[in-house]
A and B are shown apart, each in its own frame.
Chain A
Amino acid sequence: MSIIANKDTRVVIIGGVAGVNAAKRMAQFDFLINRPLSVQAFVYPPEKGQQKEIYRGGELNNISVYATLQEALEENPQINTALIYLGASRAAQSARECLESKNIQLVSMITEGVPEKDAKKLRAMAIKSGKMFNGPSSIGIMSAGECRLGVIGGEYKNLKLCNLYRAGSFGVLTKSGGLSNETMWLCAQNGNGITSAVAIGGDSYPGTDFVTYLEMFENDPETKAVVMVGEVGGTLEEEAAEWFGAKKRRIRLIAAIGGTCQEVLPQGMKFGHAGAKEGKKGLGSARSKINSLREAGALVPDTFGGLSKAIKQVYQELLAEGSIKPEAEIDDALLPELPLKVQEIMKQGDVIVEPLIRTTISDDRGEEPRYVGYAASELCEKGYGIEDVLALLWNKKLPSREESEIIKRIVMISADHGPAVSGAFGAILGACAGIDMPQAVSAGMTMIGPRFGGAVTNAGKYFAYGVKEFPNDIPGFLAWMKQNVGPVPGIGHRVKSLKNPDKRVKYLVDYVKNHTSLHMPILDYALEVEKVTTSKKDNLILNVDGTIGCILVDLDFPEQSLNGFFVLARTIGMIGHWIDQNTQNARLIRLYDYLINYAVKDEREVPEKK
């Protein structure tokens, strides 16, 4: 048996993420005792229409979030309890709505820092309507084996350690949330566990009081004794003492009262909960409470640590007088374990999960990213540059100093080629249309293909093929290309020619051949090919794509990485164009009519649809 929360309790939680976390904890308890899910709905306007995933053991439940209490109750008429997890400025209004609704009989509020006036009004309202308002600042209510309201009881393991899967004989009443859990444990450790535990909250004016719950426990035949943890401030403990001493009670009362330290503290100093303040002339002091409880016949140890012995003593007495029988020990193995998450099972090595992707270049699971095993900061410290990181991530090895210098130059000379080319123009059009940087730059990026910058890969690929298959037979290579591929990628330029050479190509070839000691067989082969093609037509020169492609294959970069150099380099330029257009506040542009040949049909009438 239990008080105020039981197997029939069905809950709406009002609030956001804290409320969802509480619902998850509550569902763990539901799983432990195998009861249906307690939480039936959430009310939280910012997340209306969402579903929250709540696991009861391995069973996944989707719980709806409603914008209003009314909607939640219309769709879930079984709800009879509300838990408030809102901030202090909105909690009281929400509790009022709950108390006004027909179905809800119990409202428990975890919110701290609720203005006293609001709490006082809520208490009065609950009393008037014959309902219960528990809190503010209440961690929740626990009825062993029946119902958990809030996160009271803590983690799953603790629920078992505190015997909360079945009812014992002790009721628990506290102001403090942490001590409600502690006291439930003490009742399990030194007795047979609890029936119900209620945290009323440590505010000055809690919505309920100890006497109300003591009456309930007195009327619950399974509760044989109550452990009450009070503290300095207010008169709830004195009222409890008065109630207990007024006549012979069926239940025994054990109590601990916090705050005796105030007797020796400097004048005016106070600690602890909001309600922990002493009234005039000692009323509400811890000492006054202890004395009145002792006079009324309650067992009050002189420290909290003394509760253990007191509970054990009462438990032994109850056993001796036969009002309770010793509980058979439950085999812990019979209680269900919470299903583990995949990660946890993997850690124990009991399951194999095939990975979805594989990576061989980068790992950021440690304190900092590692590129092919090297820590990024160490690369920086040892004087490596962005070109070395590029080589690591694209080719998985650190280039030599000479190789790095070439890579750096390739990126530098390819970074931009003015606003007129497709890529830059695409990015500029985007910028003028007010598009953000990533989208505008990718508009330019989509231009990269067979006619714009995309020839690097194929140039490298086919020249390497030529070196391999037609080493000393350039005409043979050209014939094979003509038959199987078409124009040789990397050969030919629209404006540049032998007489008007591409400065970038000249520079690169000169640098590679005269300023490094590297062996460049594919570049050499391409230059030989150029001699043959230019003899046929002046502009069939080795262009910049072809030059770069050959050099990179000579540097042992994989074929599929080659276009990446153009993509990377031009990204720098396109970002520059986007920034430039935005800095100038460029306007939207469109083509002038005179730049378009409207080769269209004359105006004509639309025929009737057949």
Chain B
Amino acid sequence: MAKILEGPAMKLFNKWGIPVPNYVVIMDPERLMQLGEANKWLRDSKLVVKAHEAIGGRYKLGLVKIGLNLEEAYEAAKEMIGREIGTAVVRQVIVAEMLEHDAEFYVSIAGNRDGAELLLSNKGGVDIEDNWDTVKRLFIPLDETPSLEKLTETAKDAGFSGEVAERVAKIASRLILCFDNEDAQSIEINPLVIRKSDMRFAALDAVMNVDWDARFRHADWDFKPVSEIGRPFTEAEQQIMEIDARIKGSVKFVEVPGGEIALLTAGGGASVFYSDAVVARGGTIANYAEYSGDPADWAVEALTETICQLPNIKHIIVGGAIANFTDVKATFSGIINGFRASKAKGYLDGVKIWVRRGGPNENQGLAAIKKLEDEGFDIHVYDRTMPMTDIVDLALKA
């Protein structure tokens, strides 16, 4: 799932003929004034300025300003750019035309196992959740494209009539085209507005998710997806992501501030179960981590050092299932080196380490890490006979 920002979404809408208001994305407020000289709409329309960043609750944070003229938009952009919200910094703003309109509609499409579902309502806008029962649904089977007649029918079901129904159906058909051709997972336009004087439609706000795995067939995807963890990535997270991009297999790392139990776990399935076990036993996780697909030992070493530096941790869970092909001896040698280096730098004071793992060369790997006992580490090593997440129980009882 890869959420993309409004700017790139608008660009894709434009490409597929879905009407959007005029907009520009800028990083420098001065550029807005220059654009104002070149574009009549910037001088003549009411404008909206929004922080073009993956920051939730922008309206409340004062990162959305509406009803502005060009000078006011310039001031708003100047004020927003550079603002720090938690770990995020506003670097871009999107300035769009505030289309004066007569009605707000809701159009969305989302994929499911058998195809996709189109949702239409003539009661769009901020109150859509309250009007959810007015939403009409149309199932679109895989590889099928509904006819304009069918879409018009659905629009009429959803309370549209006459020319508006036909125009909404037309926009819906383009939305389906865009969804299908751009490997989208979901697109939600709310509101889709209409100015009846000239029958002009525009998607004023939109949320779009694309399938990032399909990027190999989209040469024009010049954007990056918004972080999947609900906030911008930290420096440590970005460093691990850079390593991840360079290696066979993978290493992943997400910080969870305030937690006491650090996870240095293997495999996409098992790592989640370790996080669950910590929570189920009343503990708090300091991070999520995962190494899988037999990554290079130096990558695991870097991940280990990153985890050892998490603040205020009391335990490190070196957990994993019985691996199919990840070499336990090799990956553990990375972990051992990481622990040694961290201890030498003064980390791991009073931290207990709990190990459970199996897989190729498990005996050598476990024997090697057990030797850390002799070097003054508070480490407890278990083999495959220990139930996988029970080391979490032991840690939290200790």
Contacts and interface: CB of A to CB of B under 8 A. Distances in A.
Interface of A: 25, 88-89, 113-117, 120-121, 123-124, 139, 151-155, 158, 161, 174-182, 185-186, 189, 202, 204-205, 229, 231-232, 234, 256, 258-261, 263-274, 276-277, 286, 302-309
Interface string B254-281: 1010000000001111111101111111
Contact of B269 (A25, A229, A260): A229
B292 interface: yes
Contact of A189 (B278, B279, B385): B385
A185 B358 contact: yes
Interface in B239-297: 252, 254, 256, 266-273, 275-281, 284-285, 288, 290, 292
Contacts of A276: 272
B272 A117 contact: no
B143 A305 contact: no
Given A116-B213, A124-B114, A268-B230, A154 B270 contact: no
Given A139-B324, A231-B269, A273-B269, A115 B360 contact: no
B311 interface: no
Contacts of B111: 116-117, 120
B398 interface: no
Interface stretch (B4-12, B65-73, B371-379, B387-395): B387-395
Interface stretch (B161-169, B302-310, B315-323): B315-323
B228 interface: yes
B157 interface: no
A609 to B, nearest CB: 65
Interface in B87-134: 111, 113-115
Contacts of A179: 267, 269-270, 273, 321
Contacts of B143: 121, 124
16 contacts: A120-B115, A121-B143, A154-B322, A176-B268, A179-B321, A181-B321, A182-B321, A234-B113, A259-B272, A261-B276, A266-B229, A266-B230, A266-B256, A269-B256, A277-B1, A309-B387
B56 A154 contact: no
Residue from B267, B288, B387 whose CB has the most chain A CB atoms within 10 Å = B387
B271 A117 contact: no
B231 A181 contact: no
B344 interface: no
Contacts of B211: 115-117
B278 A261 contact: yes
A177 B250 CA distance: 14
Contact of A181 (B277, B322, B387): B322
> Among the interface residues B142, B256, B275, which one has the most CB atoms of the partner chain A within 10 A?
B275
List of 3 A-B pairs having minimum Cβ-Cβ separation, nearest first = A176-B269, A268-B230, A178-B267
A478 B322 CA distance: 82
Q: Interface size class for chain B?
A: 35 or more
Contacts of A264: 279, 284
Given A151-B324, A268-B231, A269-B254, A117 B183 contact: yes
Contact of A154 (B256, B278, B288, B359): B359
A305 B388 CA distance: 5
Given A178-B320, A271-B254, A271-B288, A258 B276 contact: yes
Contacts of A186: 387
A114 B213 contact: yes
Interface in B75-91: none
Given A268-B56, A304-B277, A305-B389, A178 B266 contact: yes
A258 B273 contact: yes
A177 B249 CA distance: 13
A158 B359 contact: yes
A120 B183 CA distance: 12
Contacts of A270: 228-229
Contacts of B273: 179, 256, 258, 303-304
B15 interface: no
B219 interface: no
A526 B12 CA distance: 91
B321 A178 contact: yes
Contact of B113 (A25, A205, A261): A205
B230 A153 contact: no
A149 B5 CA distance: 42
B325 interface: yes
B234 to A, nearest CB: 13
Which of A88, A114, A116, A117 has the most chain B CB atoms closer than 10 A to its own CB? A117
A111 to B, nearest CB: 10
B224 interface: no
A448 B56 CA distance: 80
B272 A305 contact: no
Nearest to B54: A268
A156 B265 CA distance: 24
B324 A152 contact: yes
Contacts of A259: 272, 276
B188 to A, nearest CB: 11
A260 B358 CA distance: 24
Given A115-B211, A124-B143, A269-B231, 11 more contacts: A113-B213, A116-B183, A116-B214, A124-B114, A154-B360, A176-B268, A179-B321, A202-B268, A272-B269, A286-B276, A303-B280
